[in-house]
Amino acid sequence: MGEIIAQTDTRQSETRARIAEIKYALYLMRQNPLVLGGLILVIFFIVLSAVATVIVSPDEALKLEFGQSYCWNNSIISWTPLEAACPAGTNYLLGTDGFGRDLFRMIILSIPLDLAIAFVIVLTTTAFGVALGAVAGWIGGKFDEAILRITDIFFAFPGLVLALVFAALFGRTIQTLTLAVLLVWWPTYVRLTRGQVLVEKERTYVEALKSIGVNPARIVLFHIIPNAIYPIIVQMTLDIGGVILTFSALMFLGFSPSPALPELGNLAADGIGHVFTAPWLIVFPGLTILVIALAFNLVGDGLRDILDPRLRR
């Protein structure tokens, strides 16, 4: 009986310590206006992508109106002496693209796709990289060496070229492009996790767990990875921005499945031939990518300071 009470006591104090830790982290976050701003933006974009199709009806926004291509009727900003005005009776906040569609609505419709792809890529690479890195770090020896050498090869690659070749070979679909980015992204997580596991492996608690005969898979999965997870979470947050940049760059360089696809890089690519006559086509989609990536990077950069106790000065 006494033993059980002692156990619940330690459990409770552990939970209390965790809560205190989280509270302290939240306090630090409040102290840092940049992180808070980033977090608000991130939440805003996630909510926006959840309700994008409610705000903007895709059927209406995606309709092609070639009579209203590349027009601009916002009197506050004047781009060039050359810009064309939209036909009377229409009003487009950010002008129209080459298909005569409202650019503002197209940007709202594109955000869900970009965010979804970024999340899919980051979660998949993390799952794969963490699994491989943890096994390599735990087993060590020949297996570790082999995995390391493979990541060496991938690190030496010009990443974008590999992704481009992959996309060129296997067709221009969203799936292929996602795979292409995955192909160049995974080694980072393997290296990161392996390094973390190597450090944790030597700690006393692992020795203790081993000595009482805990299953190695259990040690790695429930003890080592949770202890090594913070740098991985930071890397994931920072990588969402990076993945959006890379993916939209692939689209921009001409690997889009269809020129009419609502995707931010693809929208910007529509403006390549019209940089000086319809600059809004590149300016606004690119700016949206910048703000999304910046929001995630602000959060990631702040998380690094908040989650790592050594940096809390």
Partner 1 sequence: MRIYEYVLRRLALVVFVLFGVSAIVFYLARGFPSAFTPWAQYVTFRMRPDQIEAVIKAHGFDKPLYIQYWYWLVDVFHGDWGYSNWANGLPTYKVFASRFPFTVELTVAATIMTVAIGIPLGILSALKNNTAADHASRIIALTGYSTPAYWFAYILQLVFFYYFYVWGLPNLPSGGAISQGLATAVPAITGMPIVDGLLAGNLAYAADAFAHVILPAFSLSFISLGYLARIVRASMLEVLRQDYIIMARSKGLPERVVIYRHALRNALIPAMTLTGLFFAGLLGGAIITETVFSWPGVGYVSLRAVFQGDSNFLLLYSLVTALIIVVSNLVVDVMYVFLDPRIKY
Q: Which residues are at the interface with partner 1 (CB under 8 A)?
A: 34, 80-81, 149-150, 152-153, 155-158, 160-162, 164-166, 168-170, 241-242, 245, 248-249, 252-254, 265, 268, 271-272, 275-276, 279, 282-283, 285-287, 289-290, 293-294, 297-298, 301
Which lies closer to partner 1 via its Cβ, residue 219 or residue 243?
243
Q: Smallest distance from the beta carbon of 268 to partner 1, in angstroms?
A: 6
Which lies closer to partner 1 via its Cβ, residue 257 or residue 301?
301
| Phi, psi angles (nearest 5°) of residue 84 | -100, 140
Both tokens of 15, joined, read: 């939970």
Contact 297, 42 (CB under 8 A): no
In angstroms, the first-to-last Cα distance of the chain is 44
Q: Smallest distance from the beta carbon of 289 to partner 1, in angstroms?
A: 5
Which lies closer to partner 1 via its Cβ, residue 140 or residue 254?
254
Long-range pairs for 246-250: beta carbons < 8 A, 24 or more residues apart: 246/160, 246/163, 246/181, 246/184, 247/114, 247/117, 247/118, 247/121, 247/177, 247/178, 247/181, 248/114, 248/289, 249/160, 250/163, 250/164, 250/167, 250/177, 250/180, 250/181
Distance CA 183, CA 203 (A): 33
Distance CA 135, CA 194 (A): 8
Q: Smallest distance from the beta carbon of 186 to partner 1, in angstroms?
A: 14
Q: Smallest distance from the beta carbon of 34 to partner 1, in angstroms?
A: 7
One-letter amino acid of 56: V
Which lies closer to partner 1 via its Cβ, residue 63 or residue 312?
312
- Tell me the CA distances in angstroms from 137 to 199, 217, 222, 277, one per residue in order: 9, 13, 15, 55
- β-bridge mates for residue 84, sequence order: 71
Which lies closer to partner 1 via its Cβ, residue 111 or residue 249?
249
Residues whose CB is less than 8 angstroms from the CB of residue 5 and which lie 6 or more positions away in sequence, other chains included: none
Token match 């006591």: residue?
A: 9
Which lies closer to partner 1 via its Cβ, residue 140 or residue 286?
286
Q: Smallest distance from the beta carbon of 257 to partner 1, in angstroms?
A: 16
Q: Smallest distance from the beta carbon of 202 to partner 1, in angstroms?
A: 20
Q: Smallest distance from the beta carbon of 245 to partner 1, in angstroms?
A: 5
Which lies closer to partner 1 via its Cβ, residue 190 or residue 225?
190
